[in-house]
Amino acid sequence: MGAINRRQAFLLGGGFVALTVLPMAANAEPSNDAAELIKKFTGGKEAAKGKITLDLPEIAENGNTVPLALTVESPMTAENYVKEVLFVADGNPNAGVATLMFTPMSGKAEASIRIRLAQTQNVIAVAKMSDGSLFTERKTVKVTIGGCGG
């Protein structure tokens, strides 16, 4: 890290292109591979709305470290549990964020991670249940870059 200069330090973090982004509608067509990743995960099947709660700040204090908490409604028994949850971000250079894999031993389908968001965009979660059913939820996070900090 020692040899990294100030401008790079600014670009650090996600190392994503730093833009001063004004809050804007994040409903535009995703410019990255978000749709492809979701299709690969779901096998092209439609995911229903519901069961998933995403806890994300409405406005991220800093796009380099955005806390994300997930809860999926499920009894988490051997017969009925959440198998996998895919997270994608439709405004990052690459849409992939993480894929979480739960088991009945997880007890609860809950998890928290910290993610990088390069600009204002949607974070999309798709959950695959043990019976193969699919659920999805999305949340828009406004990302502004410019603060001095301190």
Partner 1 sequence: MSIRYGSLAGLATAALVLSAVATSGEELERKGIPAPPGHVFQTIISGYQFRTKETRALQDDDLENPGFLAVERAADVWKTVDGGEGKSCMSCHGEAEKTMKGVGAAMPKWSEKLNKPVNLEQQINICRTEHMKAEPWAFKSKELTDMTTFVRFQSRGLPVAVKADGPMSPWFEKGKEIYYTRVGQLDLACASCHEKNNGKFMRADFLSQGQTNGFPTYRLRDQRLIPLHERFEGCMFDVRGVPYKPLSDEFLALELYVAWRGIGLPVETPSVRN
Partner 2 sequence: MADKPRIKLPKEAKKGEIIQIKTLVSHLMESGQRKDAQGKPIARKIINKFTCEFNGRPVFSCALEPAISANPYIQFDARIDEEGTFKFAWTDDDGSVVTAEEKIALKA
DSSP 59-78: EES-TTSEEEEEEE-----S
5 binds partner 1 (CB under 8 A): no
Minimum distance, C-beta of residue 40 to partner 2, in the bound complex (Å): 13
113 binds partner 2 (CB under 8 A): yes
At residue 35, what is the residue type? A
By C-beta, is 51 or 116 nearer to partner 1?
A: 116
Antiparallel, parallel or unpaired: β 59-60 and 121-129: unpaired
103 binds partner 2 (CB under 8 A): yes
Whether 52 contacts 125, CB under 8 Å: yes
Rounded Cα distance, 135 and 45, in Å: 10
1 binds partner 2 (CB under 8 A): yes
By C-beta, is 49 or 114 nearer to partner 2?
A: 114
**End-to-end Cα spacing for the chain:** 21
Select the residue interacting with partner 1 from 67, 75, 93, 107 (CB under 8 A). 67
- What is the CA 80 to chain-centroid distance, rounded? 24
Stretch that binds partner 2, among 38-46, 50-58, 59-67, 132-140 (CB under 8 A): 59-67
* Footprint of partner 1 (CB under 8 A): 1-2, 6-7, 9-13, 18-20, 57-62, 64-67, 144-150
